[in-house]
Amino acid sequence: MKRIISTLLFIAVATFAFGQSAKTDTSKKDTSKNDGSFSIHIGGGHWKDDSTHHYKTHYPKGFIGITFARFDLGLATLVDHGSFTLQPQNKFLSYEQWKTSNVGFDVFQMGVKFSPNFKVFASAGFDWTLIRLHDNITILRDQPVLTYKQDSIQYSKNRFSSSYLRIPVSFDFRTDEDRRGNRWHFVVGPEGGVLLEGMVKQISQEFGKQKFYNPYHFAEFEYGGFARIGYGDFGIFAKYYASDMFQDSPAQDGLKNFSFGFTLGF
């Protein structure tokens, strides 16, 4: 996972730099003949074609394309029936808060800009919740309900994770650009997800590094809401899933997922 995060951060920085270069280059062109009815966006960052200071355009206008944006990196927290304290039947999921994280980003988007200050778009990307388990246990595969066994060995890492295809719908309210060419963004919307895979990753002296893949009763579909606030390309996010984290495992009914942290690229 560290290698994935490092690679994603490198891509994000490169994309951000490309976006800044593209803004500088395009601001010198005369694009008054562009009606802005359709555009393809490749890369992250925000673009000058959103600004009436530099472009004559007509609204509403659609856009669709490949992107690398809304890279989220934050902490994940389990919420058990409205409480941050796990109930007795879920104590086996006790975790290290500062090592339990949420990572995600979008790779596709399409929507409509209604004005320089408001757009609505749907996107698709990937989302991981990485739970760093506190106890030396193993979550068992292919069980009728979520089941674990207590282990007699010491794990230096014991991580229980899920990966989802995320599909958010964003309502992006933006201020006018300031003298530096940046805006404030206030973004809210619903988000759904489709389960891709569950995984247990363990590291110990006895067995080295081990990975076990299984759905582990993670919900096949999840739904919730999110909010993002930021300036320029940087901001913070919060996300709460109203659906339960697990399915077909009655003891875990009411266990939900909340995350918050930093985001890059609006």
**What does the pLDDT look like over 108-151, one tens digit per residue?**
999 999 999 999 999 999 999 999 999 999 999 999 999 999 99
Tell if the pTM clears 0.95, that is, is over it.
no
Tens digit of pLDDT for each residue in 16-63?
444 444 444 444 444 333 333 333 444 444 443 443 344 457 899 999
Q: What is the CA radius of gyration of the chain?
A: 21
Per-residue pLDDT averaged across 228-248, rounded? 97
Q: Residue 168's closest CA among 236, 100, 108, 87?
A: 108
Query: For the residues of 11-42, what is the DSSP string, one character each?
Result: HHHHHHHHHHHHHHHHTTS--TT---SEE---
| Domain that residue 82 falls in | 2-264
CA-CA distance, 234 to 257, in Å (whole number)?
24
Domain count across the chain: 1
Give the C-alpha distances (Å, rounded to integers) separating 161 from 5, 28, 81, 104, 179: 15, 47, 21, 13, 43
